[in-house]
Amino acid sequence: MKKMAYKDEQLHEVKVFKDPVHRYVRVVDRVIWDLIATKEFQRLRMIKQLGTTNVTFHGAEHSRFNHSLGVYEIVRRMVKNFKSEEGWDRDEDLLCLCAALLHDLGHGPFSHSFEKVFDLDHEKFTQAIILGDTDVHTVLSRVASDFPEKVASVIAKTYENKLVVSLISSQIDADRMDYLQRDAYYTGVSYGHFDMERILRVMRPGTDEVVIKSTGMHAVEDYIMSRYQMYWQVYFHPVTRSAEVILINIFMRANMLYHSGYPFRLKPTHFQPFFEGDISVEEYLALNDGVVQYYFQVWQEEEDPILSDLCSRFLERRLFKYIEYNPMLQEDDFFQLQVLFRRAGIDPDYYLAVDKSADLPYDFYESASGSRTPIYLQMPTTELVELSQESTIVEALSRKKRSDHKLYYPLDFIERIKDDDLREEIIRLLRKRGESHIHS
Ligand code: NI
């Protein structure tokens, strides 16, 4: 008997992961099982899915590992449903499953803050890990020599079969469907729930993207609403952003100290490649939330008062307070506050920050990157209609970008300013707007 090709190899028995969101995550393919066992995939256990959100919602301790398995499971169900559908090429099944499992492989610790400071792109690192000298690459290469490139191109959205890409990244993809439900579950909020089972049942393979049978429109409306609410209630929560501002400032301070030759008690060995702007895949993979937190723990004892204070704030959750900030109206106030902070001996570069959040819940314009591919409803006539033309609810949210600015500052430092006039002047400026928040 001819030995079965690696890509077709099945496990002797189905492996089942218990999952609080999807109940079970099922693995039958040998390739998937081997990928899960790689050290690069296991590393995702040490990266929290929601970064600093746990300062606000204490349940949000789940990892990128959980989420990645969840996205895999959703895609597994999608391709299973597509099995008998015309227009679906079953040879793409394994590619979809691998891309789903590995789509977040390149996330760094506290990803978004970390990326901001060092101008990194986790998607580029995902590519580099899949294509580099890694265990993941070894497993994928056993499928076929060009298979790693294929998986990387699906994640990079450049793969020729756009239908395959749309399962992993589109406006109704497995990634979003997993994180909305998972993040809702772990934060404990009541938003974020929608009927995924129903969406999966009405999802069909279209020519260039998945389409939704028009009878499933209301389930999709629920999904768009839940996305909208999760962004504003959870992801952009101002307290979470306060911790993120502190985190960013720690990295900036450490970077500055490193370049000025400051004698660290604990040298930032792991961060050195990032400070130097020359990072290998190996150095990137050596970082995770635990490593970062270890440095913060030790840096609390550093000589530099700013670095040590910021690290303590982060670990002890002594966060910055915030007020609403309007960049059009309050720019002068911001400059004035910088001057007053300096006079009070508080460095505004690390203790005064404007943070902006912006979101577009649904956009039906196609962008060059393809990430804004609209959601199409398949009408009983088989004609395709863009979702917002049929749904009044989605129409109301479409193309409406909402943004929000907050100004962050350390109230405890301000309250300790000895000079009464200076202190009062700073408080007066902060109170001009956002009165209700100053003592919250
Ligand atoms: Ni993801």
Instruction: Enumerate domains of the chain plus CATH numbers.
Output: 9-236 (1.10.3210.10), 239-358+402-430 (1.20.1250.30)
Q: What is the pLDDT of residue 433?
A: 63
Report the C-alpha gap between 344 and 419 in whole angstroms.
8
Report the C-alpha gap between 338 and 63 in whole angstroms.
38
Lookup result for tokens 């959601």: 375
Q: Strands 210-213, 376-378: parallel, antiparallel or unpaired by DSSP?
A: parallel
Distance spanning both ends of the chain, measured CA to CA:
72
Report the C-alpha gap between 271 and 287 in whole angstroms.
8
Ligand 1 mean position to 111 CA, how many Å? 12
Mean pLDDT of the 291-305 span: 98
142, two tokens = 């056993």
pLDDT band at 13 (very low <50, low <70, confident <90, very high): very high
Reported as half-sphere exposure (CB side, CA atoms, 13 A), residue 190 has a value of: 0
Ligand 1 mean position to 368 CA, how many Å? 21
Q: pLDDT exceeding 70 applies to what percent of the chain? A: 96
Report the C-alpha gap between 37 and 136 in whole angstroms.
9
pLDDT band at 437 (very low <50, low <70, confident <90, very high): very low
Please give the torsion angle defined by the CA atoms of residues 141, 143, 144 and 147, in that order, rounded to the nearest 10 degrees. -70
Ligand 1 mean position to 244 CA, how many Å? 19
Ligand 1 mean position to 21 CA, how many Å? 15
pLDDT tens digit sequence for 353-403: 999 988 877 776 554 444 567 899 999 998 999 999 999 999 988 878 888
pLDDT tens digit sequence for 92-151: 999 999 999 999 999 999 878 888 888 888 999 999 999 999 999 999 999 999 999 999
Ligand 1 mean position to 101 CA, how many Å? 9
407 φ, ψ to 5°?
Answer: -110, 125
Q: Which residues of 165-186 are buried (b: 16+ CB within 10 A; e: fewer)?
A: bbbbbbbbbbbbbbbbbbbbbb
How many Cβ atoms are within 10 Å of 44's Cβ, its own excluded?
A: 21
Ligand 1 mean position to 342 CA, how many Å? 41
Ligand 1 mean position to 64 CA, how many Å? 8
Q: What is the pLDDT of residue 401?
A: 84
Around ion ligand 1, residues with a beta carbon closer than 5 Å are 104, 175
How many Cβ atoms are within 10 Å of 288's Cβ, its own excluded?
A: 21
Report the C-alpha gap between 328 and 281 in whole angstroms.
42
What DSSP designation does 378 have? E
Ligand 1 mean position to 178 CA, how many Å? 8
Sheet containing 203-205: which strands, arranged edge to edge?
A: 203-205, 210-213, 376-378, 384-386
Ligand 1 mean position to 103 CA, how many Å? 6
